[in-house]
Amino acid sequence: MTEEHINYMLSKIPRNKFAKVEELASLVTWLASEENSFSTAAVLI
């Protein structure tokens, strides 16, 4: 992936940064849990 492509993708993200694994871990855990039996995860905001 070129630096130009990375910069393009970052320009489309409102916070202008990629998420870190630590920032997404609890979300992924919840999505995979029984507590989340209703959601399809089609849209996450």
Q: pLDDT digits over 13-32, tens only? A: 999 999 999 999 998 898 88
Domain boundaries, the chain: 3-36
pLDDT at 37: 82
Note the pTM of the prediction, 2 decimals. Answer: 0.53
Specify the 3-state DSSP secondary structure of 20. coil
Please list, residue by residue across 27-39, b when 16 or more beta carbons sit within 10 angstroms of its beta carbon and e when fewer do: eeeeeeeeeeeee
Q: What are the tokens at 12? A: 């489309």
pLDDT at 43: 63
What percent of the chain has pLDDT above 70?
87
CA distance 26 to 8: 27
